[in-house]
Structure formats: structure tokens, C-alpha cells
Copies of this chain bind each other. A is one copy, B any other.
């Protein structure tokens, strides 16, 4: 849903996806669940473009509850632009779309606090090497 809002913003809304035969597929997603919120709480999402190339966008999003200033969740995603008329093969962004992605990337000033993370426990936790009998 937040990805839909991003697609709307760069000009790939539902109508454009259909008429152009293009869409964005998620290749990879990383989500941090930071705080619980009550069901039904209104949320807002702030999205920024961390990087892009001819066919891919590295998108970063933070979700906030109501007027909160601390994110309740954060996500980064690698999205691939595909031609849905041709078996969903990867495709170069149209110029107008690429222009809007570039503008979002240029405007991305905020620190992406939860991007670039690797999932793991601190050393000292139990791992297969540590739990296997000698």
C-alpha cells in the first residue's frame, strides 16, 4: 500500500500501469517493526529514494502513528521496473517517470536510519557452530 503511494507519486498510478504496460516488482524488502500501535490508529508514511538506476529504485519508508515523530516501522525495498506486456521482463524507466524518481532522490535529505541493516544476534548468542556436539 505504501508502495502504491510511491507509484502514484512517480506517475505510475494504476491507470498508467495499465496504459503503459509497466509496473514495479519488489525484489527485496527489509522491514523493522519498531513500536506497536493500536488497531485503527491513523498512520502516515514518509518515502524517499535512496538510489536508482535505469530499471531499479532503492526506496526507503518510515511509518508514523498520528502526529508521532518516532517511526513505528521502517522499510527499505529494491523495486524493479517491469514490462507487464512481455512476461514481466525488466524494462528501462520512461523518461518522465525517471525524472520524478531523480527529483525524489535529489530531495532525500533525511537520514535513512533503518536502511542498510543486517539481521543478526550479538556474538555470544547460540549458533549452529556453538551448539553442535564436539
Contacts and interface: CB of A to CB of B under 8 A. Distances in A.
A91 interface: no
Interface string A64-105: 000000000000111000000000100000000000001001
Nearest to A27: B33
Identical subunits present: 2
21 contacts: A27-B33, A28-B31, A28-B117, A29-B31, A30-B31, A30-B119, A50-B128, A51-B121, A51-B127, A53-B121, A53-B124, A56-B121, A58-B119, A58-B120, A77-B119, A105-B126, A105-B127, A106-B132, A109-B128, A116-B118, A118-B118
B30 A30 contact: yes
Given A27-B33, A106-B132, 13 more contacts: A25-B33, A30-B119, A51-B121, A51-B127, A52-B121, A56-B121, A56-B125, A58-B121, A78-B119, A105-B127, A108-B128, A109-B128, A116-B119
Contacts of A33: 25-29
